[in-house]
């Protein structure tokens, strides 16, 4: 199966290039061109094989949700000239990611199961089970690491270290909860529960902007509403749409991104199954039929569409 693992373009007027875990970012002064590759990461490690259509899924879901939340907070997008490309404002990124959780799942559950009753300084009640709904959504921020692992951090520590000013951080919290409420409402329309997600923000000329991706399978976890209560009562695993199934496969095969651990073999069958899950999530979350891009000239198409948008 074909995929877009990396790009190496050189555009007129380009001022810098940055290769993230998943995205290739080209800078042009006040503008950024962000290409969503098909690379996949888990536990802050880029896995050896790319996943066909994953970049297109991420970029197109993000475009839809950025548009549907633009009345809450301005966002960085100027145009989406290609299924894998977004062009937007170059913002100064805040060095924290705003993780918001409505349910006890994933990393928060693993912390809770280990005996902790606080996550990022937020107290959690006793007696919760995995995937239980929390009394109200909580914000559990992480530091934003360019390399290595993001780390949990409390509101108090963010302010103490001066990572974000108090007035700006209050605004980030307000935006985060409002975005999560909107995402929850949209998910419900599609028969889904938005379990948890993360938002990234930046500042451009004194204004806070929502940046990067929103409500995608890489940044969010979804459960199906149908059968949720029955599965919780019976203690069965929740049916979910997110990247968690990739993490679980890695954990079951002895990999959590720690030193000395080896990524299990990614067979063609495994790669296709991950691709199929991403496409399923796109269609379930958006209600639209996924139209796969043509990979035969993908890099040429992307380069040409970027050049047109810059002109």
Domains by residue range for the chain, with CATH:
93-242 (3.30.470.20)
List the structure tokens of 181: 């409420």
pLDDT digit string, tens, across residues 131-174: 999 999 999 999 976 555 678 999 999 999 999 999 999 999 99
The stretch 165-194 carries a mean pLDDT of 97
pLDDT over threshold 60, residue 273: yes
- Rounded Cα distance between 61 and 119, Å, is 29
Predicted confidence at residue 27, as pLDDT, reads 97
CA distances in angstroms from 244 to 80, 213, 240, 276, listed in the order given: 28, 17, 8, 14
Contacts of 94 (CB under 8 A, 6+ apart): 144, 163, 164, 168, 172, 200, 201, 202, 203
Closest by alpha carbon to 229, among 194, 193, 187?
A: 193
Strand partners, 99: 198
pLDDT digit string, tens, across residues 205-258: 999 999 999 999 889 999 999 999 999 999 999 988 878 889 889 999 999 999
Torsion angle of the four alpha carbons 207, 216, 61, 306, in this order, in degrees rounded to the nearest 10: 70
Predicted confidence at residue 311, as pLDDT, reads 85
Predicted confidence at residue 146, as pLDDT, reads 58
């Amino acid at each position: 199966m074909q995929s877009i693992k990396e790009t190496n373009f050189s555009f007129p007027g380009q001022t810098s290039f940055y290769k993230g875990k998943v995205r290739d970012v080209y800078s042009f002064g006040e503008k950024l061109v962000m290409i969503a590759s098909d690379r996949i990461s888990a536990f802050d490690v880029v896995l050896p094989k790319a996943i066909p259509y994953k970049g297109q899924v991420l970029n197109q879901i993000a475009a839809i949700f950025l548009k549907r939340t633009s009345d809450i907070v301005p966002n960085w997008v100027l145009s989406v000239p290609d299924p894998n490309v977004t062009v937007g404002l170059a913002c100064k990124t805040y060095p924290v990611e705003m993780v918001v959780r409505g349910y006890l799942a994933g990393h928060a559950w693993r912390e809770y199961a280990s005996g902790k009753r606080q996550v990022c300084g937020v107290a959690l009640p006793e007696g919760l089970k995995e995937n239980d709904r929390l009394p109200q959504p909580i914000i559990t921020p992480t530091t934003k690491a360019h390399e290595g692992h993001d780390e949990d951090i409390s509101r108090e520590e963010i302010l103490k270290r001066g990572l974000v000013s108090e007035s700006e951080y209050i605004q980030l919290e307000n935006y985060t909860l409002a975005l999560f409420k909107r995402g929850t409402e949209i998910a419900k329309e599609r028969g889904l529960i938005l379990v948890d997600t993360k938002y990234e923000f930046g500042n451009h000329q004194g204004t806070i902007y929502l940046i990067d991706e929103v409500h995608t399978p890489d940044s969010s976890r979804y459960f199906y509403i149908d059968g949720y209560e029955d599965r919780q009562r019976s203690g069965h695993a929740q049916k979910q749409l997110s990247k968690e199934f990739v993490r679980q496969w890695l954990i079951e095969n002895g990999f959590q991104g720690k030193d000395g651990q080896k990524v299990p073999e990614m067979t063609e069958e495994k790669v296709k199954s991950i691709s199929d899950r991403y496409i399923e999530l796109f269609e379930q979350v958006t209600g639209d039929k996924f139209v796969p891009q043509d990979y035969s000239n993908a890099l040429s198409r992307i380069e040409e569409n970027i050049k047109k948008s810059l002109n």
